[in-house]
C-alpha cells in the first residue's frame, strides 16, 4: 500500500476495511471474532479492541503460523474454525455461512472457497485430480506451465474441523523458499489422514478480491459505495445520481430523503424524513431533522432541527445547533453556537460562540467578535432582537430580547431589552418600533 497506515485500517466508505470482514464474520457465525496481529500493528488492536479479541503473531511467518497463534488463544471446545483475510472487505456473510454448512454436511476436515478467475495472475492455482478432488494448491512462482493455465484459484477463505486442525497445524514446516508456514499445506495432511477436503465454488464477482494497492482500494470503495447506495434506494431514499452520491457506511438516512447530485455524507451523519440535500453539499458527523432543505453547503459536527433552510454556500462548524424553522442563507457561518427557532440569518455573516434567541434577525455582514487574541468569549442575542447589517458585536456582550442595533454599529457593551444601539462605539437609546407586519432582513 506504500503507507504508514496498516493495510487493514485503510478506510472504505468511512470505515477501516477490516471492519467489514469482522461484520461479515459476526453475522455469519454469531460469535466474537479473533484477529491475529503482529507487534508492529498494535494500532490495529487499539482500533478494534471493542469489536474483537486478539492473538499475537510474534513474527510474520505466514498463514499457517497465524492460525497456530489463533488456536493458542482459543478455548479447546471450539468445533469449527473459520479463517478469513483482513483485506477482503467485500466478503458476504451468506458465502461464509454456505462454506461452514458445506464443511459440516460433508464431514470434511477442511473446506475452502475457490473461484474461476478472469485473471489468475499472482493467485494460487487449485490443482484437482481425476475425480475432481482438490489435490494441492500451487503458488504461481512454484507452478508448472500446465498449472499456470488453470483458472480456478484459491480465494483464501477456509473452514476447518478445529479438533483436527489443532492436531495437525503443528506439523506444518517452513517453506524452503520463504521460510513461511503455508495453511494450504494442510491439504496433504488431510489426504494422508484419509480425511475429506471440500470446496465451495463461487462466481468471480469481486467480493473475494484482496486489496494490496491503492488501485484495488479504489475499486473496493466503488463497489462498496454501490452496495451502500443500493440499500438506501431500496429503503426509500431518492438519489438523483447514485454514481455521484458518496454516502459512508455509518450514515443513517430516513425514507423520502432526497440526495441531489454530488452530495457527500460522512461519519455519524443522520438525516430525517423528507429532507432534501442539494447538489454540492458535504455533511460530516451531523444530525439533520425532518423536512429540511440544504443547498450547496458544508456541515461539520452540527445539529439541525426540523424545517430548516440552509444555503447556498453556508458553513456550519462543530457545535452549531440550529433551531426549528431557522433560515441560514448564502455565506452564513455558525460555530459553537445555538441559533434558536425561526432565526433569520439570510446573508453573509458569522455567528461564533453565541446564543441567539428565537425569532431574532441577523443582518448581512454581522460578526460576533469572539476572540480577543487570547480567549474566546460568548455573545448572547435575545429573542426577537434585530441586528442591523454590518454590526460588530464585541464579546462578551449581550443584546437583550427585542433590542436592536443600527447598521454599521460596533457594540462593546450590553444592550438592554427593547433598546437600540447604534454608532461606533454604539450608544444606547430607546428603540423605535417597526410597523406591525414589517419584514426582517432578507
pLDDT band at 18 (very low <50, low <70, confident <90, very high): very high
Mean pLDDT of 184-190: 95
- What is the structure's pLDDT at 434? 58
Mean pLDDT of 190-195: 96
Domains and their CATH numbers in the chain: 7-202 (3.90.550.10), 214-430 (2.160.10.10)
Burial pattern 369-407, b for ≥16 Cβ within 10 A else e, equals bbeeeeeebbbbbbbbbbbbbbbbbbbbbbbbbbbbbbe
| Residue 415, burial from CB neighbour count under 10 angstroms (0-12, 13-18, 19+) | buried
Mean pLDDT of 410-428: 96
Q: Which grid cell sits at 6?
A: 496498516
Burial pattern 255-287, b for ≥16 Cβ within 10 A else e, equals eebbbbebbbbbeebbbbebbbbbebbbbbbbb
C-beta contacts of 223-228 below 8 A and 24+ residues apart: 223/90, 224/12, 224/13, 224/20, 224/89, 224/90, 224/249, 225/13, 227/90, 228/13
pLDDT digits (tens, 9 = 90+) for 212-230: 999 999 999 999 999 999 9
Are the C-beta atoms of residues 395 and 378 closer than 8 Å to each other? yes
Q: Which grid cell sits at 51?
A: 469489536
Count of residues in the chain: 442
Whether 347 is catalytic is yes
Are the C-beta atoms of residues 354 and 321 closer than 8 Å to each other? no
Q: Is the pLDDT of residue 163 over 70?
A: yes
Cα dihedral 382, 388, 391, 394 in deg (nearest 10): -20
pLDDT band at 21 (very low <50, low <70, confident <90, very high): very high
Residue whose C-alpha cell reads 476495511 in the numeric block: 17
- What is the structure's pLDDT at 441? 53
- d(CA 224, CA 93) in angstroms, rounded, equals 15
Task: Express as a percent the part of the chain with pLDDT over 70.
Answer: 97
Are the C-beta atoms of residues 343 and 360 closer than 8 Å to each other? yes
Q: Which grid cell sits at 390?
A: 454590518
Q: Is the pLDDT of residue 428 over 60?
A: yes
Mean pLDDT of 322-342: 99
Are the C-beta atoms of residues 390 and 407 closer than 8 Å to each other? yes
Start-to-end Cα distance in the chain: 52
- d(CA 403, CA 16) in angstroms, rounded, equals 51
In the predicted model, what is the mean pLDDT of the chain? 95
Q: Is the pLDDT of residue 239 over 90?
A: yes
Q: Is the pLDDT of residue 288 over 60?
A: yes
Map residue 126 onto helix, strand or coil. strand
Selected catalytic residue, list 10, 232, 347, 377: 347
- d(CA 326, CA 339) in angstroms, rounded, equals 8
pLDDT band at 206 (very low <50, low <70, confident <90, very high): very high
Mean pLDDT of 148-160: 95
Residue whose C-alpha cell reads 434577525 in the numeric block: 361
pLDDT band at 131 (very low <50, low <70, confident <90, very high): confident
pLDDT band at 28 (very low <50, low <70, confident <90, very high): very high
Please tell me the least confidently modeled range out of 68-72, 120-124, 315-319.
120-124
pLDDT digits (tens, 9 = 90+) for 132-152: 999 999 888 888 999 999 999
Q: Is the pLDDT of residue 93 over 70?
A: yes
pLDDT band at 78 (very low <50, low <70, confident <90, very high): confident
- What is the structure's pLDDT at 142? 82
- What is the structure's pLDDT at 139? 84
Please tell me the least confidently modeled range out of 46-50, 195-199, 433-437.
433-437
| DSSP assignment of 364-423 | TT-EEE-B-SS-B--EEE-TT-EE-TT-EEESSEEEPTT-EE-TT-EE-S-B-TTEEEET
Which one, of 180, 150, 233, lies nearest residue 59 by Cα?
180
Edge-first strand order for the sheet with 252-253 is: 252-253, 270-271, 287-288, 303-304, 321-322, 338-339, 354-356, 379-381, 397-399
Q: Is the pLDDT of residue 122 over 90?
A: no
Residue whose C-alpha cell reads 460568548 in the numeric block: 378
Q: Is the pLDDT of residue 437 over 60?
A: no
- d(CA 226, CA 219) in angstroms, rounded, equals 11
- What is the structure's pLDDT at 75? 84
Are the C-beta atoms of residues 422 and 409 closer than 8 Å to each other? yes
Q: Is the pLDDT of residue 439 over 70?
A: no
- d(CA 137, CA 125) in angstroms, rounded, equals 5
pLDDT digits (tens, 9 = 90+) for 360-374: 999 999 999 999 999
Mean pLDDT of 120-125: 89
Whether the model clears a pTM of 0.95, i.e. scores above it, the answer is no
Mode of pairing for the β-strands spanning 298-300 and 282-284: parallel
- What is the structure's pLDDT at 432? 59
Which one, of 154, 101, 109, 105, lies nearest residue 128 by Cα?
154
pLDDT band at 175 (very low <50, low <70, confident <90, very high): confident
Amino acid at each position: 500500500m506504500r503507507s504508514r497506515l496498516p493495510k487493514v485500517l485503510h478506510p472504505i466508505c468511512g470505515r477501516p476495511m477490516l471492519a467489514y470482514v469482522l461484520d461479515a464474520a459476526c453475522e455469519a457465525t454469531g460469535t466474537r471474532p479473533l484477529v491475529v496481529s503482529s507487534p508492529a500493528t498494535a494500532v490495529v488492536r487499539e482500533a478494534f479492541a471493542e469489536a474483537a479479541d486478539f492473538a499475537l503473531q510474534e513474527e510474520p511467518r505466514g498463514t499457517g503460523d497465524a492460525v497456530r497463534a489463533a488456536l493458542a488463544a482459543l478455548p479447546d471446545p471450539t468445533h469449527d474454525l473459520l479463517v478469513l483475510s483482513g483485506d477482503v472487505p467485500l466478503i458476504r456473510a451468506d458465502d461464509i455461512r454456505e462454506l461452514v454448512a458445506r464443511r459440516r454436511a460433508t464431514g470434511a476436515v477442511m473446506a475452502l472457497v475457490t473461484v474461476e478467475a478472469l485473471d489468475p495472475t499472482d493467485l494460487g492455482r487449485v490443482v484437482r485430480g481425476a475425480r475432481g478432488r482438490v489435490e494441492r494448491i500451487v503458488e504461481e512462482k512454484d507452478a508448472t506451465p500446465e498449472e499456470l493455465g488453470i483458472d480456478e484459484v484459491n480465494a483464501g477463505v477456509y473452514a476447518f474441523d478445529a479438533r483436527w486442525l489443532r492436531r495437525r497445524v503443528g506439523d506444518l514446516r517452513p517453506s524452503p523458499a520463504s521460510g513461511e508456514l503455508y495453511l494450504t499445506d494442510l491439504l496433504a495432511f488431510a489426504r494422508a489422514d484419509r480425511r475429506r477436503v471440500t470446496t465451495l465454488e463461487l462466481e468471480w464477482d469481486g467480493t473475494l478480491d484482496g486489496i494490496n494497492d491503492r488501485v484495488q482500494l479504489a475499486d473496493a470503495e466503488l463497489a462498496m459505495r454501490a452496495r451502500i447506495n443500493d440499500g438506501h434506494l431500496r429503503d426509500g431514499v431518492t438519489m438523483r445520481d447514485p454514481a455521484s452520491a458518496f454516502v459512508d457506511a455509518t450514515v443513517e438516512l430516513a425514507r423520502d430523503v432526497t440526495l441531489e447530485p454530488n452530495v457527500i455524507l460522512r461519519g455519524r451523519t443522520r438525516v430525517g424524513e423528507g429532507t432534501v440535500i442539494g447538489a454540492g453539499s458535504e455533511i460530516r458527523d451531523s444530525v439533520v431533522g425532518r423536512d429540511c432543505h440544504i443547498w450547496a453547503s458544508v456541515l461539520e459536527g452540527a445539529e439541525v432541527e426540523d424545517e430548516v433552510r440552509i444555503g447556498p454556500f453556508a458553513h456550519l462548524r462543530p457545535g452549531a445547533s440550529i433551531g426549528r424553522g431557522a433560515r441560514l442563507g448564502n455565506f452564513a457561518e455558525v460555530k459553537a453556537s445555538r441559533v434558536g427557532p425561526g432565526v433569520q440569518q439570510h446573508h453573509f455573516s458569522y455567528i461564533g460562540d453565541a446564543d441567539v434567541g428565537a425569532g431574532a434577525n441577523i443582518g448581512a455582514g454581522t460578526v460576533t467578535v469572539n476572540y480577543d487574541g487570547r480567549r474566546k468569549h460568548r455573545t448572547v442575542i435575545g429573542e426577537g432582537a434585530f441586528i442591523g447589517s454590518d454590526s460588530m458585536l464585541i464579546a462578551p456582550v449581550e443584546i437583550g430580547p427585542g433590542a436592536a442595533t443600527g447598521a454599521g454599529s460596533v457594540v462593546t457593551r450590553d444592550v438592554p431589552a427593547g433598546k437600540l444601539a447604534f454608532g461606533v462605539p454604539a450608544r444606547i437609546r430607546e428603540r423605535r418600533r417597526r410597523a406591525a407586519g414589517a419584514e426582517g432582513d432578507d
